[in-house]
Every structure is written in C-alpha cells, then in structure tokens.
Structure 1
Amino acid sequence: MNSLIVIPSRLASTRLPNKPLADIAGLPMIVQCLKRAEESNSGPVIVAAGDQEIVDAIEAHGGTAIMTDPDLPSGSDRVWAAVEAYDPEGKYDVIINVQGDLPTLDPHVIEATAEPLKDAAVDISTAVAEITEEEEKTNPNVVKAYLAFQQGNHIARALTFTRATAPFGEGPLYHHIGLYGYRREALKQFVSMPPGLLEQREKLEQLRALEAGMRIDAALVKTVPLGVDTLEDLEKARQVLAG
C-alpha cells in the first residue's frame, strides 16, 4: 500500500474555539498531531486546513498544509479536497484520515488503522478498543462498533455502528475510534454520495458507507486516544505531553 496521511483541521469549534492553535508543550495542537502522525512512519503527512492560520502554523514548523474551502461540510470532504490538490496523479492509493484533535495519539494506532486494508475486499478501515468503563456502555457519546473478533484475531468486519448499547447479551462492547483508512476510490465515492438516512439519524458519518454497501473492517487496539474537545481535555493533554 502507498499511503498518505491527511489531518483535517479548522478553527471553528462550538466547544473550544481555535483549538488547533492551542498551545500544548510549546507547540500548537495541530503541530503536535502532525508529529504523532509522522512518528507512525505510515507515509507522508499533510494537513487539510480550513483556515490560513492553520496553514501558517504548520508551515512554520516545517510541515505541509493544503488550504481547502472553509465551507466544506465535513472533515472527509476536506481530506478529499486536499488529496486532489496534493496528489492529482493518484500516486497514493490509501488515504489515512487522522483527527486533528488527538495530540497524544499513540502512533501505533495509525499503523493499526490501515492494517485491515491489506485485505483487498476491504474498502475502509478503522480502529476499536474494548470498553472497560461501565458507564461508557450506555453513554450515547461513546460510539459502539457492532462486531466480534474470532479467537486469536485482531481484525474483524464491522456490521454497523451505533450510539446505543450494542450488541445485546454477554460479551465485550467496543468503542469506535474515529480514524479511517480509505482506498482512494472508496474515499472518492464516499464524498460524492448524499448523507444516508441512518447516518442522519445516528449522526454517524460512517453509516453512509455501510448503507451504500461498502465494507469496513476494524483493528483492535488497546486504548482510546484522548480527544481534545473541552478546556479540561486540553489541560489533560498538556500534562501528558509535558511529562
């Protein structure tokens, strides 16, 4: 696989405005995310920016940023716009979408996210971790992947994703981690489709792909990365990286 990592980022945020530029251990958060992605050694890394300030921050630290239309409706659309601008010849056949608010992300998770694409039948790959906190099982903000791992396997096909507590019965539940690997043609198809009915109901973009018959496989990893959505999250990230 010839992979390109793309980090979508924009300043607009309802809970923590301008968070990509928030200082964490002496660097803007988006630069910390860039470094984690580079440390994965999974391919070149670019930032798909919705604002010039993000481009400036990335370039000031030696990174590559592509300015995209600030009015694009989603991070996936921003990723695809950056891919088309950066690689019009189609050199990269796998696109890894890494969120721009994961400054403490274990680079191994990026590697693991792309691994299911080694199976030619898989269109999109992602990652999950077993839920260990009881309250997360019923928390609608924790997205669950509906899948099961055969004994000894760490990759499984995702049948669906839901905010509900699922599947029912005895056994582990899995927290979906919002990183994705796309075959280039799958990403192109995905952003060309209108939002799906279940996608709109659950507010989960990945359901659009499943409704269209695309296959998503997930790799099992050990921990859920810290996403920075609030000031409290930001302080946690600062403590982690300061250490």
Structure 2
Amino acid sequence: MVHAIGIIPARYASTRLPGKPLVDLGGKSMIQRVVEQARQAQLQRVVVATDDERILEHVRGFGGEAVLTSPEHPSGTDRVFDAYQQLGEAADCIINIQGDEPFIHPAQIDALVALFGAEKPPQLVTLVKPVLSEEELFSPHLPKVVLDTTSHALYFSRHPLPYQRQAEPAQWLAHHRYLRHIGLYAYRPDVLAAITKLSPSWLEQAESLEQLRWLENGYRILTAETELETIGIDTPEDVERARKRLAGSE
C-alpha cells in the first residue's frame, strides 16, 4: 500500500480575495470543504500548511490538522515541503492539494497516489483533463499541456499548444485533442526536497507556471487523466458560483 500524505497550502493573503481559505461556502469555510474532500481519498494523513494563525486555529477548531509555516515561502510547493519536514513522517508520496478547490474529487487524488505503487515510482505526477470548449482552449487562466507517448509532460503553456498551421483557430478542437492542466501535484519526497532548491527559470517567469522550472531542470512529470471537473475559487464571482452550486446539491 502506498503511504501518501496530503498537504493543503493555505495563505490568508490574496490579491483578489483576501482571507480566501476562510470564506463561507454554504455554512462551512472553503478550507474545511477541501479538507473534508481530501479525507475521503486514499491518504494516511491530511494536513493544512498555513502562514496565518487565524487559519491554523480555524482548522484545528473543526477537527483538522494544521501546521504553521514560514510567511516567506514564494510558492505552495515550498510551503508543502516545510510542512512535510515538520511532520517527521516518512511517506512514499506527498500530494499538494490546492486550498481553493472545495469541489476536488477524492478519485482525482487517488489517481495520482495509485501511480506511486509502481515498481519504479515516478518523480512527479499531475492531472490533465480534455479541453471541451473554445473558451477553455483560449483562456490564459487554464494552462494547457502537451505530452509524450508515455504520458509525461513535454511542455505547459497558457497559450493553446500545439499551434495548428493548417487550420483556423476556430477549427483547432475539431482537428486535435487538447489537454489542460489541473493543478494537483504528487511528489516523491526526495524530489520535492530537490525542486524547492531550484532557482526560478526563464520559461517559468515567461509563462508564470512553476512546473516549467522542473522541466527545465530535467525532471519528469507523469500525468494522469481525469474527466471530472473542478472549480477553483479566485474571485468574489467564483465564490457566488460555488454557493449556488452548493445550494443546488445540498
């Protein structure tokens, strides 16, 4: 059995939605909903990694586990590694679960964990999902990914890839199966330790996508495909959509 630990990075500060983890969604905070979803997956432990005492106390208040991490971390990956070090527990893989996706499916987490049961576990794993509309395809907020024949990522971009020279953009989806990236990551502990020591790369800075730093430095990112939709919360408008979805399902 794969020993997997789920860590949820949660910052209080947010440019578009301050205090985002504590936003109320149908009577529960967003972070509580993420924790409850993650606990349904095949994880031995689910821990919130936060830089804020308010989030720390809130999580402990509803019976969750949380650790306080440095406020200086430049990314969620660094925060996840900080938390893992504090836990003092060896794991086969560490899952970085986004703290702003209250509708994350346990099956999506399990799909990543399962890949670490291989005789030779992958370095890094992430999720991809088929692009279903032109709106998704051309949105710079939904990164796209191209894969090699072994389902490892070749490149991530906010631009649709590949560019189809022989077809008009409106016809691209009809001629090619595009994939977009879902920001759920799993790491081998030794790889997580190594990538947090890497300096920001040129491609990463150009696209504002951290995973390009790992590719530029020779790491291999295996992908698992999902058909399940997730909804990230980044703006007050997203909050209202999430509340309406919950009102219709609860």
Query: Shorter-normalised TM-score: what interval?
Result: over 0.9
For the 8 Å contact 1:104–1:240, the answer to whether it is kept is: no
Give per-residue Cα distances to partners, 1:5-55, cap 9 Å, x unaligned: 000001100011111101112111111111010011333100001100011
Secondary structure, counterpart of 1:164 in structure 2: coil
Correspondent of 2:163 among 153, 165, 168: 168
Q: Tell me the CA shift for residue 206 of structure 1.
A: 0.4
Matched residues in 1 for 2:228 and 2:131: separation?
9
After superposition, residues 163-242 of structure 1 pair within 5 angstroms as 163-169=158-164, 170-242=175-247
Q: CA RMSD in A?
A: 1.5
Whichever residue aligns with residue 161 of structure 1, its letter is F
Secondary structure, counterpart of 1:176 in structure 2: strand
After superposition, residues 115-134 of structure 1 pair within 5 angstroms as 115-119=114-118, 120=120, 122-134=122-134
Q: Tell me the CA shift for residue 111 of structure 1.
A: 1.1
| Partner in structure 2 of residue 97 of structure 1 | 96
| Partner in structure 2 of residue 68 of structure 1 | 69
Structure 1 residue 114 and structure 2 residue 113: aligned?
yes
Secondary structure, counterpart of 1:159 in structure 2: strand
Name which of structure 1's ranges 101-110 and 164-173 shifts more when overlaid on structure 2: 164-173
Q: Structure 2 unaligned runs (5+)?
A: 165-174
For the 8 Å contact 2:115–2:121, the answer to whether it is kept is: no
Q: Structure 1 unaligned runs (5+)?
A: none
TM-score calculated relative to the size of structure 1: 0.92
Matched residues in 2 for 1:142 and 1:32: separation?
23
After superposition, residues 13-24 of structure 1 pair within 5 angstroms as 13-24=14-25
For the 8 Å contact 1:33–1:101, the answer to whether it is kept is: yes
Q: Tell me the CA shift for residue 121 of structure 1.
A: 5.5
For the 8 Å contact 1:177–1:224, the answer to whether it is kept is: no
For the 8 Å contact 1:104–1:241, the answer to whether it is kept is: no
After superposition, residues 77-92 of structure 1 pair within 5 angstroms as 77-87=78-88, 90-92=89-91
Matched residues in 2 for 1:55 and 1:7: separation?
12
TM-score calculated relative to the size of structure 2: 0.90
Q: Tell me the CA shift for residue 114 of structure 1.
A: 2.9
Whichever residue aligns with residue 142 of structure 1, its letter is L
Displaced runs of 4 or more, over 4 A = none
Matched residues in 2 for 1:162 and 1:43: separation?
33
Give per-residue Cα distances to partners, 1:151-210, cap 9 Å, x unaligned: xxxx71111111111023431111100000000001000101111111111110001111
**Structure number with bigger Rg:** 2
Secondary structure, counterpart of 1:213 in structure 2: coil
